Structure 1
Amino acid sequence: MPGRSSSNSGSTGFISFSGVESALSSLKNFQSCIDSGMDTVSSVAFDLVETQTEVSSEYSMDKAMVEFVITNRELNHYVMAVQSAINHVKEEQPDKIPDLKLLVEEKFLALQSKNSDADFQNNEKFVQFKQQLKELKKQSAALQSPGLLNGSTAAGTTEPRLPGRKPCPPPHSGLRMADGSSSLPATY
């Protein structure tokens, strides 16, 4: 049967990894789902800041982004562990076929043991999310400063502000480029 070793577990024989490689390909395709989830979380978090929604909602978006980064890291480690196990068996051609599941688990745990907070700083989407969130908070704080009363301008807006009312967001403030950056100039 393709993808299986000979009928005796642990005996010598030909191993076809086509089934495993096909499954790995499917796992790699899941990466786009993680990327889409990160994009969605970013968009929602930015909208929450722009509409001055509760900080707890923004915190939830930050936690969701962290979960996506962790899931992404674990997926990458698992794929690397499986590929490493396959390469080990192909290169070594051992007399006795090793327990592939155990070999993958060992390699996965070795990769996971190297996890650190630096992994978050190496994730481009996470870093971009944090930077854009920080910039939006600065812009939002500038729009809400107490010196801005009726007819005052801030960052190019001339929206009158009534006491107790939130300012209207600038036109097209929710537009984002394909790379996730704001379509507005940085000085807006």
Structure 2
Amino acid sequence: MPGRSSSNSGSAGFISFSGIESALSSLRNFQSCISSGMDIVTSVALDLVQTQTEVSSEYSMEKAMVEFVIMDRELNNYIKAVESAMNHVKEERPENIPDLKLLVEKKFLSLQSKNSDADFQNNEKFVQFKQQLKELKKRCGLQADREADAPEGVDEDMIVTQSQTNFICPITQLEMKKPVKNKVCGHTYEEEAIVRMIESKHKRKKKACCPKIGCSHTDMRMSDLIQDEALRRAIENHNKKRHRHSE
């Protein structure tokens, strides 16, 4: 319980929350560690798909992601409980101030009781993890099928050209090296090109439209962009195969 001043005038001003606020700051830093951990797990899981490692290893990565989501949810609930308790205490007169520890526990348990499986779909990192795995499997599978089914004598350059269709940035018209995906419309672009385009539009107080022809997304934000790791890996794989074929 925070210490109180010996003076009897006023109310919440005699309770110091500096120690609690410092602890909350540390907890938020830990949240960033959880986020970094989820990025690492995603990268390892994509490596497993790319190297066609046994499914059990990939499954263990998903279990790790679930544990991270649970930790993140619990930490979020605890931070909310502490903040809510602090606000409650600030509104009370000194003589009515409750036991802060018990109040936090009560609010925390209330928030925890509302947990559901739907929380996983609200965790952006977890959703991205599932989508990236699915997309990489699809891309690797489609490429494997195409190569296996290609009849002898077919011009390999033609196969390469067809495969590259989705690798081209709609802005630069060049093959992407660091693709990012728009969460809203699903289109991908070279990161540097789309960031430059959005910044240029916003500096002129204009809305940034998705540069993909026919797209109806007319108000792009930087926050709409996420790294498309699956596509980046697919492009790299494709180029490695093309290089081997040309040797």
Give the TM-score normalised by the residue count of structure 2: 0.59
Q: Deviations over 1:29-74 (max 9, x none)?
A: 1111011000000000001001100100000000111111111111
Alpha-carbon offset, residue 77 of structure 1: 0.5
Match of 2:28 in 1: 28
The reply on whether 1:156 has 2:155 as its aligned counterpart is: no
Deviation of the 1:19 alpha carbon: 0.5
Q: Paired residue for 1:180?
A: 227
> For the residues of structure 2 that align with 1:82 and 1:16, how far apart are their CA atoms?
14
Q: What percentage of residue pairs aligned between the two structures are identical?
A: 66
Three-state SS of the structure 1 residue aligned to 2:78 is: helix
Q: TM-score, normalised by structure 1?
A: 0.75
Structure 2: runs of 5 or more not aligned? 162-177, 181-190, 192-225, 239-247
**Partner of residue 116, structure 1:** 116
Q: Is structure 2 residue 129 aligned with structure 1 residue 129?
A: yes
Of 105-114 and 140-149, the range deviating more from structure 2? 140-149
Question: What amino acid maps onto 2:4 in structure 1?
Answer: S
Q: Is the 8 A contact 1:143 1:155 kept in 2?
A: no
Would you tell me which structure has more helix in proportion to its own residues? 2
The SS at the match of 1:98 is coil
Kindly tell me the number of residue pairs found equivalent between the two proteins. Answer: 167
Q: Does the C-alpha gap of structure 1 residues 104 and 29 become closer, same or farther in structure 2, counting only changes over 3 Å?
A: same
Partner residue of 1:104?
104
- The residue aligned with 2:211 is none
Contact 2:85 2:100 (8 Å CA) reproduced: yes
RMSD: 3.3
**What amino acid sits opposite 1:21 in the alignment?**
E
Q: Are 1:85 and 1:107, in contact at CA under 8 Å, matched by a contact in 2?
A: yes
Structure 1 moving runs of 4+ over 4 Å: 149-155, 175-178, 185-188
- State the alpha-carbon separation in 1 of the partners of residues 130 and 80 from structure 2: 27
Would the alpha carbon gap of residues 66 and 176 (structure 1) be closer, same or farther in structure 2, given more than 3 Å must change? Answer: farther
State the SS of the aligned residue for 1:28: helix
Deviations for 1:129-182, whole angstroms, at most 9, x for unmatched residues?
11111111112222444970796879739xxxxxxxxxxxxxxxxx77694313
- What are the Cα deviations for residues 79-125 of structure 1, in whole angstroms up to 9, with x where unaligned? 00001001000012252331111100000000011111111111111
Alignment partners' CA distance in 2, 1:49 and 1:176: 19
Q: Are the counterparts in 2 of residues 49 and 136 from structure 1 also a CA contact under 8 Å?
A: yes
Change in Cα spacing, 1:122 to 1:55, as seen in structure 2 (3 Å) is same
Matched, 1:52 2:44: no
- Going by fraction, where is strand more abundant, 1 or 2? 2
Higher relative contact order (CA 8 A, sep 6+): 1
d(CA) in 1 for partners of 2:227, 2:35? 11
* d(CA) in 2 for partners of 1:23, 1:53: 42
Q: Which residue is 2:81 aligned to?
A: 81
